[in-house]
């Protein structure tokens, strides 16, 4: 009996936070503040005038920190429940999802580029001209920003899930499907200015990558895992651009 009970306990899985009142309930006003913080964080990121070190780090810090501080404020200053402990296993899972993100977005990227064309990412292309120090500063800044991109994607997902289940009376499964769609569209829309307002590219490539990253969070309930996957995916692109730009003259990519 003890063994059977233990086996059942081991199958218990922690649910997604906040939408059902665990570990703490968030009301409508609280969620509005969270969504407002996400929107403000995004617009200050794209509108901030800072271009020199160390000021260039400020928008990334605000982008990541403002939504996290807001979720803490509306939950009584508890640590954000979207994070869980990070160990070697979780780190490995994050890397695995990062590889999957690279593969999936790469496949869709090739297909969409061939069928509809794609706009370049000027920041990524610019890495070809960077020196080593500039590259390290860029990676440090994007490390902070990419954690923020996970936060501003998953917090709206949880807000929509709360709305669907608590206010609209939908099932958790249907509410989660709607929440994933909404957060994917939001994440894709955030990248429209980066890719010259190419809707097909942002939905088909960026949106596909977002779904993989969201699955990483939903499977583990840990934003560290999806953040690691996101950082891995983007840093592969960054380092590839940097490396190709520094190949010896006469060596083809």
Instruction: Write the DSSP assignment of 173-198 as a string of letters.
Output: HHHHHHHHHHHHHHHHHHTTTTTTT-
In the chain, the percentage of residues whose pLDDT exceeds 70 is: 93
Domain encompassing residue 94: 10-245
pTM of the model: 0.92
Kindly report, residue by residue over 54-82, the tens digit of the pLDDT: 999 999 999 999 999 999 999 999 999 99
Is a pLDDT exceeding 90 seen at residue 35?
yes
Q: Mean of the per-residue pLDDT values for the chain? A: 93
Instruction: Write the DSSP assignment of 195-229 as a string of letters.
Output: TTT-HHHIIIIIHHHHHHHHHHHHHH--HHHHHHH
Q: Does residue 250 sit within a domain?
A: no
Q: Does residue 217 sit within a domain?
A: yes
Return the closest-CA partner of residue 209 out of 101, 108, 49, 99: 101
- Cα distance between residue 247 and residue 253, in whole Å: 8
26 CB-side CA count, 13 A: 31
**If pLDDT is split at 50, 70 and 90, which confidence band does 212 have?**
very high
Q: Does residue 149 sit within a domain?
A: yes
Q: Does residue 219 sit within a domain?
A: yes
Question: How many distinct structural domains can be found in the chain?
Answer: 1
Is a pLDDT exceeding 70 seen at residue 252?
no
- Cα distance between residue 238 and residue 229, in whole Å: 14
Q: Does residue 50 sit within a domain?
A: yes
Confidence at residue 153, expressed as pLDDT on a 0 to 100 scale: 98
What value does the mean pLDDT take over residues 187-204? 96
């Amino acid at each position: 009996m003890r063994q059977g009970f233990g086996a059942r306990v081991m199958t218990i899985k922690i649910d997604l936070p906040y939408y059902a009142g665990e570990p703490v309930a968030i009301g409508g006003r609280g969620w509005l503040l969270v969504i407002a913080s996400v929107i403000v964080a995004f617009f200050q990121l794209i509108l901030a005038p800072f271009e020199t070190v160390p000021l260039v780090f400020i928008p990334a810090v605000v982008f990541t920190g403002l939504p996290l501080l807001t979720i803490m404020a509306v939950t009584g200053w508890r640590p954000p429940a979207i994070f869980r402990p990070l160990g070697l296993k979780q780190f490995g899972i994050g890397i695995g999802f990062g590889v999957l993100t690279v593969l999936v977005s790469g496949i869709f990227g090739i297909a969409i580029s061939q069928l509809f064309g794609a706009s370049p990412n000027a920041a990524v292309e610019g890495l070809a001209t960077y020196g080593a120090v500039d590259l390290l500063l860029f990676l440090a800044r994007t490390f902070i920003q990419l954690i923020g991109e996970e936060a501003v994607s998953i917090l709206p997902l949880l807000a929509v899930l709360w709305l669907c289940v608590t206010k609209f009376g939908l099932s958790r499964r249907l509410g989660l499907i709607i929440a994933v769609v909404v957060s994917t569209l939001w994440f894709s829309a955030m990248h429209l200015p980066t890719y010259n307002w190419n809707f097909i590219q942002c939905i088909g490539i960026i949106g596909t990558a977002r779904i993989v990253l969201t699955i990483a969070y939903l499977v583990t309930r840990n934003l560290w895992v999806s953040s690691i996957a996101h950082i891995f995916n983007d840093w592969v692109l960054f380092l590839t651009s940097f490396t190709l730009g520094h190949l010896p003259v006469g060596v083809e990519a």
